[in-house]
With several copies, the nearest count.
Chain A
Amino acid sequence: MSMSQEQLLQVFRCMVKIREFENRAHEVFLAGELPGFLHLYLGEEAIAAGVTAALRADDWVASSHRGHGHLIAKGGDIRLMMAEIFGRSTGYCRGKGGSMHIADLDLGILGANGIVGGGIPIATGAALACQYRGTDSVVVSFFGDAASNRGTFHEAVNMAAVWDLPVIFVCENNLYGVSTCQRDHMRITDVAERGAAYGIPGVVVDGNDVEAVYEAAVTAVSLARQGAGPTLLECKTWRHQGHFVGDPCAYRDPSEHEEWMAKDPILRGTRLLIEQGLATEEAIARLTSEIKAEIEEAIEFGRSSPWPDEADLLTDVYSE
Chain B
Amino acid sequence: MGTDTVSTKTMTYAQAICDGIAVEMRRDPDVYVVGEDVGMFGGGLGVTLGLLDEFGPRRVRDTPLSETAIVGHAVGAAAAGLRPVAEIMFDDFLGIVMDELGNQAAKARYMFGGKVKIPMVLRASCGAGIRAAAQHSQSLEAWCAHVPGLKTVAPSTPADAKGLIIAAIRDNNPVVFLEHKILLGIAGDVPEGEYIVPIGKAAVKREGDDVTLVTWSAMVPQAERAAELLAEQGVSVEVIDLRTIVPLDKEAILESVANTHRLVIVHEAVRTGGFGGEIAAIVADEGFDLLDSPIKRVTAPDTPVPFSPVLEDAYLPSAEKIKAAVLDLM
- Of A91, A94, A185, A307, most B-chain CB atoms within 10 Å: A94
Docked complex Cα distance between A253 and B304 (Å): 39
Tell me the nearest residue of chain A to B75, going by C-beta. A122
Decide: A319 and B109 in contact? CB cutoff 8 A: yes
Interface residues on B, range: 35 or more
Decide: A159 and B69 in contact? CB cutoff 8 A: yes
B302 within 8 A of A: yes
B141 within 8 A of A: no
Residues of chain B lying within 8 A (CB to CB) of residue A147: 65
Q: How far is the CB of A188 from chain B (nearest CB, A)?
A: 12
Tell me the nearest residue of chain B to A161, going by C-beta. B64
Partner of A92, one of B84, B113, B118: B113
Decide: B68 and A310 in contact? CB cutoff 8 A: no
Decide: A118 and B68 in contact? CB cutoff 8 A: no
Decide: B65 and A126 in contact? CB cutoff 8 A: no
Decide: B301 and A313 in contact? CB cutoff 8 A: yes
Partner of B112, one of A92, A130, A158, A159: A92
B293 within 8 A of A: no
A201 within 8 A of B: no
A275 within 8 A of B: no
Docked complex Cα distance between A83 and B99 (Å): 28
Residues of chain B lying within 8 A (CB to CB) of residue A150: 65-67
Residues of chain B lying within 8 A (CB to CB) of residue A184: 62
Known: A36-B130, A36-B132, A121-B75. A93 touches B112 (CB 8 A): yes
Docked complex Cα distance between A74 and B263 (Å): 53
Decide: B131 and A319 in contact? CB cutoff 8 A: no
- Which stretch from B100-108, B249-257, B273-281 is at the chain A interface? B100-108
Decide: A177 and B134 in contact? CB cutoff 8 A: no
Residues of chain A lying within 8 A (CB to CB) of residue B131: 35-36, 87, 98
The 0/1 profile, CB within 8 Å of A marked 1, for residues 51-89 of chain B is 000000010011111111101111111111110100000
B127 within 8 A of A: no
B311 within 8 A of A: yes
The 0/1 profile, CB within 8 Å of A marked 1, for residues 173-190 of chain B is 100000000000000000
The 0/1 profile, CB within 8 Å of A marked 1, for residues 98-126 of chain B is 01100110001111111111110000000
Known: A92-B113, A250-B40. A87 touches B149 (CB 8 A): no
- Of A115, A139, A152, A308, most B-chain CB atoms within 10 Å: A115
Tell me the nearest residue of chain A to B133, going by C-beta. A98
B8 within 8 A of A: no
Residues of chain A lying within 8 A (CB to CB) of residue B92: 114-115
Tell me the nearest residue of chain B to A109, going by C-beta. B112
A-side interface residues, number (CB < 8 Å): 77
Docked complex Cα distance between A113 and B93 (Å): 13
Known: A101-B111, A317-B304. A35 touches B309 (CB 8 A): yes
B238 within 8 A of A: no
Tell me the nearest residue of chain A to B93, going by C-beta. A115
Decide: B136 and A37 in contact? CB cutoff 8 A: yes
Decide: B113 and A180 in contact? CB cutoff 8 A: no
Decide: A97 and B73 in contact? CB cutoff 8 A: no
Decide: B40 and A251 in contact? CB cutoff 8 A: yes
Decide: A125 and B80 in contact? CB cutoff 8 A: yes
Q: How far is the CB of B110 from chain A (nearest CB, A)?
A: 5
B143 within 8 A of A: no
Decide: A130 and B311 in contact? CB cutoff 8 A: no
Q: How far is the CB of B78 from chain A (nearest CB, A)?
A: 7
Docked complex Cα distance between A139 and B108 (Å): 18
A170 within 8 A of B: no
Partner of B307, one of A35, A103, A104, A146: A35
B308 within 8 A of A: yes
- Of A60, A114, A133, most B-chain CB atoms within 10 Å: A114
Q: How far is the CB of B271 from chain A (nearest CB, A)?
A: 12
Decide: A97 and B112 in contact? CB cutoff 8 A: yes
Known A185-B64, A317-B303; further 9 A-B contacts with Cβ < 8 A: A62-B76, A96-B112, A101-B307, A121-B71, A128-B82, A139-B76, A158-B64, A180-B41, A308-B310
Binding site for B on A (CB under 8 A): 35-37, 60, 62, 87-89, 91-98, 100-105, 110-111, 113-118, 120-130, 132-133, 139, 146-147, 149-152, 155-156, 158-159, 162-163, 177-180, 184-186, 250-251, 307-308, 310, 312-320
9 residue pairs bridging A and B, Cβ less than 8 Å apart = A62-B76, A97-B112, A98-B131, A102-B112, A113-B104, A115-B99, A152-B68, A185-B65, A313-B314
Closest 6 CB pairs of A and B: A121-B72, A125-B76, A98-B307, A93-B113, A95-B308, A114-B135
